[in-house]
Structure 1
Amino acid sequence: MLTDYDPIFYSRLLTSLTLAFHILFATIGVGIPFLIMVAHWVGIKKNDNHYLLLARRWARGFVITVAVGVVTGTAIGLQLNLLWPQFMSFAQQVIALPFFLETFAFFIEAIFLGIYLYTWDRFKSKVTHFLLLLPVVIGSSASALFITMVNAFMNTPHGFTFIDGQLTSIQPIAAMFSPAMPTKVAHVLSSAYLTSAFLLAMLSAVAILRGRTHVYHKKALHLTMTTAAIFAVSTAIIGDLSGKFLAEYQPEKLAAAEWHFETSTEAPLLIGGVLTEDNEVKYALKIPWALSILAHNDPYAEVTGLQEWPSELQPPLVVHYLFDGMIAIGIYLTIIAFAFVLFSRSKVMNQYNKLLLRCIIIGGPLALLAVELGWMFTEIGRQPWVVVGYMMTSEGATTAAHVDDMLLLFASLYLLLGITCLLVLYRMFSQYPVEQELKERGF
């Protein structure tokens, strides 16, 4: 329990709250434009107005989430400069370029999103209107690319020389393409597409369960679940590559995630369990050789144990549960997505049965939870560093007063934004249901 004001604690808490809230809208901001593009393209290729209406309605809702994402993204920018001045002083010299490019990518996304929204039915060629959507998708994904480059740099700093506390030989491009960049960017993009597909599928599943059996809802569910199945596979493959990256570049994070304390060969993978005070693992499910396979593709490979690092440099062991939760949800989403795809191709099974629809509905919030768990695993697993090997988290934070007051202020803001966003989206679509729009358009 804190007895005195601790600016480092409150800085970490406020930044964590902001990122936890923002990442939900950032994930939607990356994934939804891609799903809109898929629906729009399918509508053009099949000359199917239902898919075109899907794209149109999804785009309307997407604008609301973009507005909230802009506010929370601005808050992050402010807090990085106010709460982490030493880190930003370091970062601005080495990794400032992707910060700038991320802003530029967002401008492209926002400009073309407005043009795309207000030019429906204005072109003789549907393809011309579709092409206006491409910069939106590219801009949103590029935003994720550039900001993830910064996070990758924080985990595997690259592109500079640090001598006697001074940065020299700075190479901004090399810093952007740090060793962590490929797997982190791929995982962020793939998981964003997967999560967004499940969120949209959840809405269609709810509609069908409520007896709204128009073919529009079934087409929407089929499109989103097929997309989810594709990205469930890609996310799993990238996750395996991420495990191998950790084994090579951040073995302490992998060891903490698996409570692997002693360096050994034929290392098992631990699922669940309870850790005692003397680091003895109880009640865990052990999968023989699995950790060695995850780390090195070899069941007999040696995996470095956490005891190789001083206790003050070891990540918090709670990351084990974050890692397990993320993996468990990923497996669930994969099973449900493939079950729907297989059932839809079977003449015996009904892909619209109530049990599967309920599982799809559960998959929506679970996908968002997996995103949160993955982000927390990345950030907490990097501790005690803000820039691994160069700057401790405690060294990067502010020493200013009143951060606790800022925490209350921003928490109230996020609560207001979250409630407002949900209410606006609910009223937008409940007061103008798709059946009414279908009837008005003669579909």
Structure 2
Amino acid sequence: MMDQPTLGAPTDVRVVSAVGILAHLAIASSFLGTILLAIVAEFLYIRSRNQFWYDTARTFSVISTIFFGVGAAFGTLVEFGLVTLWSNFISLIGEAIVLPFYLELFAFLIEVIILPLYVFTWNKIRNQALHWVIGIVAALGGYYSAYNILAVMASLSMRPPGLEVVNLYQATGQSVVGLTDYVIKWASPIDAWNVFWWGANVFIFHGILAVVILTWSIIAAIYLYLYIRDRKPERLMMLKILVPTVAVLTAIQGFVIGHLQGELVLQDDPLKLAALEGMFWNGLKVDPLTSFLAYGSFNHAFWGYFSWPADVRPPSFVFVFYWVFMVIFGVLLGIWSGALSLWYLFPNFFGRFGWARALANFFEKSGIYLMPFFAAFASIGGAVSAESGRYPFILVQVSSNPSGGPPVITGVPVGPSGLLNPTLYFPVWLAVLVLIVEVAMPSLAVFMVYLYLRRSPRREEVKVVEY
């Protein structure tokens, strides 16, 4: 009898893991974006006492709870999947990056306890400001959870100061329980807090801004569609909050946080820089554009992608995800959101010009489809650039080459003897089933939101009193 096809190659396992992580990221992003919008809308209600903001805040508090519930369950599934597929990872995180995981548990407890309190106390707490504070605490729990998880992801890309990677097999001829050759340790116990060093915070806030930009772009597109249909003033009120926020955050993301992130990659991982920037040559060569962006001159030379051995280089396709998806689509999102912001915030000024009205009509109708498209693919591009860009190592470190060649790139290998479980082989049909579940979970969350928004409005009985 023929053997059943099995899944065991690092590339195949990475596909299963990547789909699960991106799907979970989509649900988690939706929660963080919608809970933030809920507390912003409630704040506007407290200031204006406009019923529209109250209804909006209450609606998005429920929507955020739907995303949180599905995301929490799905996150558990993804976690067990990662532990199974990348079981060697467990032998590494014990000392290296357990601190943010431990702190994340407390953040999760805040979410679990405070979020239902926020949702089920509408009209139950007389002091609206107190209810708003409860919402802020629920949102902070979610963002602090994201902060700690992103700190772990940042460490995998840029090794924190004081974190040492020891190749146990080279040192003693032994491995850890026959699975991995590597042991990760801090030079000093107090160095464990270095997991939150400056570079990690740049990475963290880069990811958090991307979450808000993505979610609010999608919500803005929905309100834009509704506003074009009926031109209700409350839709315009919402767009005046959503669209300018997306524009401002996109500018900060690109010109401030993105620049700082690029400086870190430039200093700490020249191989990843070569892959991202498409420096597909061997040896040192001047790259005028990167030189100008990094050093303010046009004559700085960089080591090319092919200067390093093939088994060390990250995939070449990260160049497409970085430039086409993240950079170009991010710029286009900034253009669309910026143009609409000017039109909505200064209608009296731009309304005097026929060309401005024509452009606004174009940006409105196309923005329904293009804004969420640009935001989604920019986010995917950033995620793939970060995750695949560090392959085939995690906990990357760069040291000078004594022979004068390109810098030496070291870290923990992603494949066998590094992170991949070498004993795991499961049928391809099971992998396909896992992929189906991974895609179905965010779809389920969206469908639940659809059912909630399509619910029949409650009709209060009017009592007629006869005199």
Q: Same fold (TM over 0.5)?
A: yes
Q: In the alignment, is residue 367 of structure 1 matched against residue 375 of structure 2?
A: yes
Q: Is the CA contact (8 Å cut-off) linking 1:87 and 1:396 kept in structure 2?
A: yes
2:414 corresponds to 1:393: yes
AA paired with 1:343? Answer: W
Instruction: Give the TM-score normalised by the residue count of structure 1.
Output: 0.86
Preserved contact between residue 255 and residue 306 of structure 1 (Cα < 8 Å): yes
Residue of structure 2 in register with 1:143 after alignment: 145
User: Residue in 2 aligned with 1:277?
Assistant: none
Alignment match, 2:220: 201
Q: How far apart are the structure 2 equivalents of 1:428 and 1:84?
A: 37
* Structure 1 counterpart of 2:246: 228
How has the CA–CA distance of structure 1 residues 351 and 81 changed in structure 2, closer, same or farther, with 3 Å as cutoff?
Answer: farther
Deviation at 1:5, TM superposition (A): 4.6
Question: For the Cα contact (< 8 Å) 2:41–2:54, is it kept in 1?
Answer: yes
Of the three residues 391, 395, 404, the one matched with 2:428 is 404
Residue 389 of structure 2 aligns with which residue? 381
Q: 2:444 aligns with which of 420, 429, 434?
A: 420
Q: Output the aligned Cα RMSD.
A: 2.6
Shift of residue 19, structure 1, vs aligned partner: 0.7
Cα–Cα, structure 1 residues 29 and 293, in superposed 2: closer, same or farther, change >3 Å?
Answer: farther
Q: Which sits farther off after the overlay, 9-18 or 184-193?
A: 9-18
Q: 1:273-316: CA deviations, max 9, x gaps?
A: xxxxxxxxxxxxxxxx3211333344333333223322221111
How big is the shift at 1:215?
2.1
Q: 1:360 to 1:36 in 2, by over 3 A?
A: farther
> Structure 2 length as normaliser, TM-score?
0.82
TM-fit CA distance, 1:262 = 4.9
Distance 1:179 1:310 in 2: 31
Q: Which runs of 4+ in 1 moved over 4 A?
A: 2-5, 262-266, 349-354
Call closer, same or farther: CA 1:246–1:160 in 2, change over 3 Å. closer
Structure 1 residues 223, 387: CA separation in 2 closer, same or farther (over 3 Å shift)?
same
TM superposition shift of 1:7: 4.7
1:354 deviates by 4.3
Contact 2:5 2:427 in 1 (8 A): no
Task: Please name the residue that 1:358 is paired with.
Answer: 365
Matched, 1:242 2:245: no
Q: Match of 1:280?
A: none
Which residue does 1:273 correspond to in 2?
none
1:114 aligns with 2:116: yes
- Structure 2 gaps of 5+ residues are 169-182, 397-409, 463-467
Deviates more, 1:301-310 or 1:128-137: 301-310
- Cα distance in 2 for residues equivalent to 1:342 and 1:249: 39
Gaps of 5+ in 1: 268-288
Secondary structure in structure 1 of the residue aligned to 2:311: helix
Whether the 8 Å contact between 1:202 and 1:360 is mirrored in structure 2 is yes
Q: Deviations over 1:381-424 (max 9, x none)?
A: 11111332231111211121216354223223234323332322
SS at match of 2:394: strand
Deviations 1:109-130 (A, max 9, x none): 2321111111112222211110
1:255 maps onto 2:279 in alignment? no
More moved, 359-368 vs 243-252 = 359-368
* Superposed displacement of residue 162, structure 1: 3.7
2:465 maps to what in 1?
A: none
Answer whether contact 2:156 2:394 (CA < 8 A) is retained: yes
What amino acid is the match of 2:209? Answer: S
Measured in 1, the distance between the counterparts of 2:18 and 2:309 equals: 26
The one-character-per-residue Cα deviations of 1:304-360 (angstroms, maximum 9, x if unpaired) are: 322332222111111111011111111111111111121121321559954322333
- How far is the alpha carbon of 1:49 from its aligned partner? 2.1
Residue among 132, 135, 150 paired with 2:134? 132
Greater C-alpha radius of gyration: 2
For residues 51-86 of structure 1, give each alpha carbon's deviation from its aligned partner in whole angstroms, at most 9, with x where no partner exists.
222111111212221122112211221122211111
2:143 partner letter: S
> Of residues 173, 177, 181 in structure 1, which corresponds to 2:192?
173
- Aligned identity (percent) is 21
Equivalent of 1:42, from 44, 60, 65? Answer: 44
Count of equivalent residues: 414
Task: Tell me if the contact between 2:7 and 2:13 (Cα under 8 Å) persists in the aligned partners.
Answer: no
**Deviation, structure 1 residue 224:** 0.7
Whether the aligned pair in 2 keeps the contact of 1:190 and 1:235 (CA below 8 Å) is yes
Counterparts of 2:120 and 2:166, CA distance in 1 = 54
